[in-house]
Amino acid sequence: MAQEKPRKELLHQGRFLEMLQLGNWEYVERVGSSGVVVILAVTDENELVLVEQHRVPVGARVIELPAGLAGDLPDARDEDFREAARRELLEETGYEAESIEFLCEGPPSAGLTSEIQTLLRATGLRKTGPGGGDESEDITVHTISLDQLDAWLAAAIERGCLIDPKIYAGLYFLG
């Protein structure tokens, strides 16, 4: 007799997230997007473009690589990840990129969410807008020389910021 596969059970439906249970495992899925793009943006002056914003779940300001949802706009459900990266980079940082290159993809927290993040490198940057995010965001943009990055991040920690480990993972691709 074949064993029955566990069924996915919806525990809670929010505007942006669903909480699900499969067997004994509880996890979350995003609603209305096809994934997340994370952008490793380096200027021609060898500066890494970072964003800083308050993140409610951790109750702190977090230093991050620019990032955002792909396929979350009603008229762009099948949005190309490179185009999503261009859109998010401009919205969050005010930079346009001449080139967007795929680096890797994978789960940021495989025990918590089904989300897959795609890391892309943006080069040939031109500052063409103010950045700062959309009306729901309050983003501060930082451009930090790669040779000063360790000291700058240490100072950010001293002033109470959390550092997203994807910054360190992204540096692997610059080595």
Quote the pTM value: 0.91
In a domain, 21, yes or no: no
In a domain, 80, yes or no: yes
- Which DSSP state fits 113? B
**pLDDT tens profile 121-160:** 999 999 999 998 888 888 999 999 999 999 999 999 999 9
Q: What is the CATH number of the domain that holds 87?
A: 3.90.79.10
In a domain, 143, yes or no: yes
What does each C-alpha distance from 37 to 23, 123, 150 come to in angstroms? 30, 15, 24
In a domain, 152, yes or no: yes
What pLDDT does 76 receive?
65
In a domain, 19, yes or no: no
- pLDDT(102) > 90: yes
In a domain, 9, yes or no: no
Give, for 81, the enclosing helix (H) or strand (E).
helix 81-93
Cβ distance 164 to 62 under 8 Å?
yes
Number of domains in the chain: 1
| Residue at token pair 């550092």 | 163
In a domain, 13, yes or no: no
pLDDT band at 168 (very low <50, low <70, confident <90, very high): very high
- Alpha-carbon distance of 102 to 81, in angstroms, equals 9
- pLDDT(90) > 80: yes
Average pLDDT over residues 60-64: 98
Range of the domain at 121: 33-172
In a domain, 60, yes or no: yes
